Amino acid sequence: MSSPVLSVRGLTTEFVTPAGVVRAVNDVSWDLFPGETLGVVGESGSGKSVTAMSILGLIQSPPGRITAGEILFEGRDLLTMPDKELRRLRGSEIGMIFQDPMTSLNPVLTVGAQISEALRLHDKKMSKNAARTRAIELLTMVGVPNPEGRVDQYPHEHSGGMRQRAMIAMAIANDPKVLIADEPTTALDVTIQAQVLDVLKTAKERTNAATILITHDLGLIAEHADRVVVMYGGKVVEVADVFSIFAAPRHPYTLGLMSSLPRLDVDLARLDPIPGAPPNLIDLPPGCSFHPRCRVSKGRERCRTEVPPLYDTGDGARAACHFTEEVPAEMAVVYREMGARLGSGGA
Amino acid sequence: MKGTAAHIVRTLLLSLITLFGVSILIFLMLRVLPGDPARVLAGLNASEDQVARLRAELGLDDSLLAQYWSFITGVLTGDLGTSARTSAPVASEIGVRLPATLLLAIVATIIGTIAGVTAGVIAAVRRNSMVDHVISSVAMMGVSMPVYWLGLLLILLFAVTLGWLPAAGSGEPLSIVLPAVTLAAFSTALISRMTRASMLEVLGQDYVRTAEAKGAPPITVIMRHGLRNAFIPILTVISLQFGALLGGAVLTETVFGWPGIGRLLVDSIGARDFAVVQGIVLVYAAAFILLNVIVDVLYVVVDPRIRY
């Protein structure tokens, strides 16, 4: 395997709040390889977005602070890099697409001006006219109809889907090596979601950028990701390729996510939601933070006292569970309970 | 832009009604004031006869309706009447002093805007830092310090002790510095508070984060993406302050002997010089309406979402 384009190593990001210190990202490590799409899944508050913000150095300080770890982009640590160099990478080598296109575009600048800005910030010699022409090209590429007219319009004259296309155009304007898409379709209508994802896919193929797709939508992961990182309570609990994650999850939390998801390939009588609520990050349960909700733990002492490391589960996959070898058997039990008749459903 | 032009025409037409109302109000208010203009004008030693003659001459014996009629028909034909005190046409009395007041208000507003916006932006960007606290304290002082007190202190320091600037009058170009700075103190404080609050809100917006993610340097993020979006409420405060400066510079004009319209107004009220007071109030009202129209247009320039 080639060397990773982006490596997160032991990243820990905290927020100081009146109620206490929130460790939103806790010793997170993963690699992103050239050309791949890495899916990052987890519930709200699991640390997905904070990880992305940490990569770009966009954690507001105070209250936020990165207390440990390194983020290596092509071997250079983004966390210790001077601001000026980091700014040169942002928007050129690393592009970012945010969740809510309604609020992520500047309302007083035309869409074209905002795309041109992304271009001209990183190519000081580019003329205004050249940037405008390129902005029109980019809008065409992301499927904005009538790009010559649209380029001079303001964001409030565009629909949500159109704005997210413009955001994508902005993010890929400088052919980034890494593209971070943070819940890119969550704020959009279901019908628009599919279109925008297609655009994202095309954009990714054109630029061949390694993509980090942050989402809580397992359907998106199944369709678009090559490998998956599952986060829970600020920690990575499982890393595996997308087929293994869906076919044979090795962490009870991942199993819980799968069995709470309606599926087309398995005919289910009912779903099996994960009991309880996501943990309070100020006051995480001791040991494995998932143990109060875990169906594999069965109240065992070790789950309550010992924080599980990421165990190697073979084929480059890892899972943070003391009893990861019991998960496949548990999966069979869960699916039997849910009344699955494997193979009797759709494709 | 077409809508904006129509909006301006509509506003100006409606403002005619406003001006008409203002003319009635000020006319009536002056008439209910205690004190007889003829007696004030005639002086302490005048005989009852002389006062009566003067009353007739000034038209004060006519009915209210007749007096108002002659006032408003005069205004409509461009004649604001004659000052009872100086016998000069009111229009020329105002014309002589208005430029001085305008100049003072404009210079003070420019100083207040530049200083206030700069201080507010710095306070917002460095919020809760030492700089922010210092700016907040100074702003608090600026809002609470009476202008005559601040004016006297400035005269004491810069004119008397240091001798750098003239203490009063308007004879030299530098004469405007002290009154303008004195007037600007309050505006600066107010504008800086508004800028800080507005900037803090805008800097937390998603599009500011987008700009940072694009690799924009802090100055671009703050000015191009931050301040421009934060500017609508700031613009409102600036325009309100400018309006207040036009009318409310009486104290400053008195302290610095500045030959502005504020002093003329106060003197004319004291002398019950009805024609001059009516004329000044009408000019103020017209100026405020014009100012509002200008600000409406500026809103459209600053924020493309605003359409009329």
Specify if A38 maps to a domain.
yes
Q: d(Cα A307, Cα A321) in Å, to the nearest integer?
A: 9
Name, of A69-73, A140-144, A335-339, the range with top average pLDDT: A69-73
* Distance, C-alpha A337 to centroid of its chain: 31
Q: Mean pLDDT across the stretch A135-148?
A: 90
Specify if B75 maps to a domain.
yes
Choose, out of A88, A94, A106, the residue to mutate when testing the contact with B (most B CBs < 10 Å): A106
A12-21, A300-309, B243-252: segment of lowest average pLDDT: B243-252
Q: What are phi and psi of A60, to 5 degrees?
A: -65, 125
Number of domains in chain B: 2
**B205/A89 CB distance under 8 A:** no
Average pLDDT, chain B: 88
Q: Mean pLDDT across the stretch B181-192?
A: 92
Q: What are phi and psi of A186, to 5 degrees?
A: -60, -35
CB A121 within 8 A of CB B215: yes
Q: d(Cα B83, Cα B77) in Å, to the nearest integer?
A: 17
Specify if B68 maps to a domain.
yes
Specify if A158 maps to a domain.
yes
Q: d(Cα A340, Cα A268) in Å, to the nearest integer?
A: 5
Provide the pLDDT for residue A345: 43
* Same-domain pairing of B111 and B259: yes
Amino acid at A157: E
- pLDDT (tens digit per residue) in B165-178: 888 777 778 888 88
Instruction: Note whether A81 contacts B: Cβ–Cβ < 8 A.
Output: no
A337-341, B89-93, B242-246: segment of lowest average pLDDT: A337-341
- pLDDT (tens digit per residue) in A302-332: 898 989 999 988 888 999 999 988 888 888 8
- Bridge partners, residue A178, by sequence: A94, A210
Specify if B90 maps to a domain.
no
CB B109 within 8 A of CB B238: yes
* CATH code at position A137: 3.40.50.300
Residue A124 has pLDDT above 60, yes or no: yes
In angstroms, the separation between the Cα of residue A257 and the nearest Cα of chain B is 30
Provide the pLDDT for residue A131: 93
Across the interface, which of A91, A100, A154 has its CB nearest the CB of B214? Answer: A91
Amino acid at A289: S
* Same-domain pairing of B264 and B293: no
Residue A27, sorted as left (phi over 0), alpha (psi -120 to 50) or beta, turns out to be: left
Across the interface, which of B210, B229, B304 has its CB nearest the CB of A98? Answer: B210
Across the interface, which of A87, A103, A121 has its CB nearest the CB of B206? Answer: A103
**B211/A106 CB distance under 8 A:** yes
Enumerate helices (H) and strands (E) in chain A, giving the number of each.
13, 14
Nearest CA in chain B to A123: B215
Provide the pLDDT for residue B248: 64
Provide the pLDDT for residue A344: 45
For the beta carbon of residue A212, count every other beta carbon within 10 angstroms.
27
**A104/B229 CB distance under 8 A:** no
* Same-domain pairing of A52 and A193: yes
* Same-domain pairing of A268 and A314: yes
Count, residues in chain A: 347
* Same-domain pairing of B81 and B180: no
* Same-domain pairing of B1 and B17: yes
Provide the pLDDT for residue A118: 92
CB contact set of A326 (below 8 Å; sequence gap of 6+): A296
Residue A343 has pLDDT above 70, yes or no: no
Amino acid at B284: Y
* Same-domain pairing of A220 and A246: no
In angstroms, the separation between the Cα of residue B188 and the nearest Cα of chain A is 26
CB A106 within 8 A of CB B225: yes
Q: Is A126 helix (H, G, I), strand (E, B) or coil?
A: coil
Amino acid at B198: S
Residues of A in contact with B206 (CB under 8 A): 98, 100, 103-104
Residue matched to tokens 């289910």: A268
Residues of A in contact with B207 (CB under 8 A): 103-107
* Same-domain pairing of A149 and A251: no
Provide the pLDDT for residue B1: 60
Nearest CA in chain B to A97: B210
* Same-domain pairing of B73 and B156: no
Specify if B128 maps to a domain.
yes
Residue B73 has pLDDT above 90, yes or no: no
Q: What angle do CA B107, B109, B111 make, to 5 degrees?
A: 70
Average pLDDT, chain A: 87
Residue B283 has pLDDT above 60, yes or no: yes
* Same-domain pairing of A25 and A141: yes
* Same-domain pairing of A149 and A55: yes
* Same-domain pairing of A50 and A164: yes
Specify if A234 maps to a domain.
no
Contact residues of B toward A, CB < 8 A: 205-207, 209-217, 220, 224-225, 228-229, 302-305
**B215/A89 CB distance under 8 A:** yes
Specify if A301 maps to a domain.
yes
Domain boundary among A172, A190, A225: A225
Instruction: Note whether A105 contacts B: Cβ–Cβ < 8 A.
Output: yes
In angstroms, the separation between the Cα of residue B261 and the nearest Cα of chain A is 39
In angstroms, the separation between the Cα of residue B153 and the nearest Cα of chain A is 41
Domain boundary among A225, A258, A291: A225
Specify if B236 maps to a domain.
yes
* Same-domain pairing of B258 and B296: no
* Same-domain pairing of A221 and A246: no
Residues of B in contact with A154 (CB under 8 A): 304-305
Residue B259 has pLDDT above 50, yes or no: yes
Q: Widest CA span of chain B, in angstroms?
A: 85
Instruction: Note whether A225 contacts B: Cβ–Cβ < 8 A.
Output: no
* Same-domain pairing of B126 and B61: no
Specify if A159 maps to a domain.
yes
Residue A346 has pLDDT above 60, yes or no: no
* Same-domain pairing of A52 and A93: yes
**B212/A90 CB distance under 8 A:** yes
* Same-domain pairing of B257 and B289: no
CB A89 within 8 A of CB A121: no
Q: d(Cα A185, Cα A161) in Å, to the nearest integer?
A: 9
Number of domains in chain A: 2
**A117/B206 CB distance under 8 A:** no
Q: Which long-range contacts (CB under 8 A, 24 or more apart) does B268-274 make?
A: B268/B83, B268/B85, B271/B37, B271/B40, B271/B41, B271/B84, B271/B85, B272/B30, B272/B33, B272/B35, B272/B36, B272/B37, B272/B40, B272/B41, B272/B84, B273/B37, B273/B83, B273/B84, B273/B85, B274/B30, B274/B37, B274/B84
Specify if B93 maps to a domain.
no
**B304/A118 CB distance under 8 A:** no
For the beta carbon of residue A286, count every other beta carbon within 10 angstroms.
12
* Same-domain pairing of B19 and B131: no
Res. A1 pLDDT band, cuts 50 70 90: low
* Same-domain pairing of B294 and B256: no
**A106/B210 CB distance under 8 A:** yes
Domain boundary among A157, A192, A225: A225
Q: d(Cα A78, Cα A8) in Å, to the nearest integer?
A: 10
Specify if B239 maps to a domain.
yes
**B215/A87 CB distance under 8 A:** yes
- pLDDT (tens digit per residue) in B210-228: 999 999 999 999 999 999 9
CB B177 within 8 A of CB B256: no
* Same-domain pairing of A221 and A283: no
**A96/B304 CB distance under 8 A:** no
* Same-domain pairing of A212 and A260: no
In angstroms, the separation between the Cα of residue B298 and the nearest Cα of chain A is 13
**B304/A167 CB distance under 8 A:** no
Q: Mean pLDDT across the stretch A151-155?
A: 93
Q: Mean pLDDT across the stretch A224-251?
A: 91
Provide the pLDDT for residue A209: 87
Q: Mean pLDDT across the stretch B30-34?
A: 83
Residue A244 has pLDDT above 50, yes or no: yes
Residues of B in contact with A105 (CB under 8 A): 207, 210
A window 147-176, beta carbon within 8 A of B:
154, 156, 167, 170
Choose, out of B126, B202, B203, B210, the residue to mutate when testing the contact with A (most A CBs < 10 Å): B210
Specify if A201 maps to a domain.
yes
For the beta carbon of residue A263, count every other beta carbon within 10 angstroms.
17
Between A44 and A108, residue with greater pLDDT: A108
Among B108, B107, B88, smallest CA distance to B96 is for B88
* Same-domain pairing of B28 and B49: yes
Provide the pLDDT for residue B46: 77
Q: Mean pLDDT across the stretch A65-78?
A: 90
Among A253, A185, A247, smallest CA distance to A222 is for A247
Give residue B66's domain range.
Answer: 1-85+273-308
* CATH code at position B233: 1.10.3720.10
Q: Locate B34 and state its tokens.
A: 């205690």
Across the interface, which of B205, B206, B214 has its CB nearest the CB of A117? Answer: B214
* Same-domain pairing of A213 and A309: no
Give residue A68's domain range.
Answer: 6-225
* Same-domain pairing of B206 and B224: yes
Q: Is B265 helix (H, G, I), strand (E, B) or coil?
A: helix
Specify if B47 maps to a domain.
yes
In angstroms, the separation between the Cα of residue A333 and the nearest Cα of chain B is 45
Across the interface, which of A98, A107, A122 has its CB nearest the CB of B215? Answer: A122
Residues of B in contact with A85 (CB under 8 A): none
Q: Mean pLDDT across the stretch B140-148?
A: 86
Instruction: Note whether A108 contacts B: Cβ–Cβ < 8 A.
Output: yes
